[in-house]
């Protein structure tokens, strides 16, 4: 029974950490791109293109974490099945 609880906890932590890491990565990339644009305004077009490609790659990792979370969510039993398993185990974790 504790297995199902750990799956649920893993889903929450995995998606949350992926979103946190993705947000931090995109923030650093945007900061560096703005610094570069401020120092050399004529390179703004190249920096923008590189920033968009980098942000898309960072965001894709967050989406992969979401997909894995959804796949793990499919491994959890329905509430009826979980109650039945809990009764079979005698109410022990």
Q: Mind listing the pLDDT tens digit for each residue in 81-92?
A: 878 877 887 766
Q: Mind listing the pLDDT tens digit for each residue in 28-82?
A: 999 999 999 999 999 999 999 999 999 999 999 999 999 998 988 888 878 888 7
pLDDT at site 8? 85
Q: Are 1 and 86 in contact (CB under 8 A)?
A: yes
Tell me which of 3.40.50.150, 2.70.150.10, 3.30.420.40, 1.20.20.10 is the CATH number of domain 2-88: 1.20.20.10
Q: Mind listing the pLDDT tens digit for each residue in 34-46?
A: 999 999 999 999 9
How do the domains of the chain map onto residue ranges? 2-88
Burial zone of 76 (CB within 10 Å; 0-12 exposed, 13-18 middle, 19+ buried): middle
């Amino acid at each position: 029974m504790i297995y199902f609880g750990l799956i649920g906890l893993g889903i929450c932590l995995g998606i949350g950490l992926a979103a946190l890491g993705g947000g931090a990565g995109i923030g650093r990339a945007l900061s560096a791109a703005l610094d570069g644009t401020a120092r050399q305004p004529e390179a703004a077009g190249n920096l923008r293109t590189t920033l968009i490609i980098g942000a898309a790659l960072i965001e894709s990792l967050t989406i992969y974490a979401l997909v894995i979370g959804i796949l793990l969510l499919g491994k959890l039993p329905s509430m009826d099945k979980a109650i039945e398993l809990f009764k079979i185990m005698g109410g022990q974790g």
